[in-house]
Amino acid sequence: CGGSVIMTDLDRKFVFMNNQAIYVQSAIQSAVLGVAIAFGVLLISTRVFHLALFASLSIMSVLISVVGTMVMMGWTLGSIESTLIGIIAGFSVDYVVHLAHAYEIAKGDTYARITEAFSDLGISVFNGMITSVAASIPLFFCQLQFFAKFGTFLCLTIAYSWIFANFGFMTLLAQLKIPLKESGCRL
């Protein structure tokens, strides 16, 4: 016991463990920050608290669904996956923002607002989803791992975003029927 001990990490296990901790921390921080920024922007732009809250719930649902699908596909958390998780909120905000804005500027009761929102922007949101998914398909066949994973990630994020915006966000508005004030501050 009196000899000198030299600590080595020849298998680089400690470096790997440290990197994993950093990947987890940065993925969680980026995702939380992205959802918080989306909530703030939605609250400022619509001036309606429940629209911003429900849209943020839709974005969080997309985030959880995409990460869950990545796990089911057997992806391990690395630098690529950590970066992709960090940008999910930015990619998934598009459709729900358009529908929230269309709902907010529409006139009438909840049913009339939902009908007008779908009439005005429903086809545009659908076509945006179709073109984005179609644009991601060629990336599936790339040889570089980053592009193949990015294509899969993009397709999943767009599909889940469209599903949760149309069938989650709008359904929540339809079921809760929270009235909007026609003018003034609506927080």
pLDDT tens readout for residues 43-89: 998 889 999 999 999 999 999 999 999 999 999 888 889 889 988 88
Residue 50 token pair:
């429940």
pLDDT tens readout for residues 120-131: 999 999 999 999
Under a CB-based contact definition with an 8 Å cutoff, are residues 154 and 131 in contact?
A: no
Work out whether the CA dihedral 152, 156, 158, 159 comes out positive or negative: positive
pLDDT band at 18 (very low <50, low <70, confident <90, very high): confident
Burial of 108 (0-12, 13-18, 19+ CB in 10 A): exposed
Under a CB-based contact definition with an 8 Å cutoff, are residues 59 and 96 in contact?
A: yes
Does 2 or 38 have the greater pLDDT score?
A: 38
Burial of 49 (0-12, 13-18, 19+ CB in 10 A): middle
pLDDT tens readout for residues 132-153: 999 999 999 999 999 999 999 9
Under a CB-based contact definition with an 8 Å cutoff, are residues 36 and 42 in contact?
A: no
Read off the pTM. 0.85
Least confident of 5-19, 88-102, 167-181: 5-19
Can you tell me which residue has the tokens 């469209």? 162
Q: What is the mean pLDDT of the chain?
A: 89
Under a CB-based contact definition with an 8 Å cutoff, are residues 57 and 39 in contact?
A: no
Does 11 or 160 have the greater pLDDT score?
A: 160
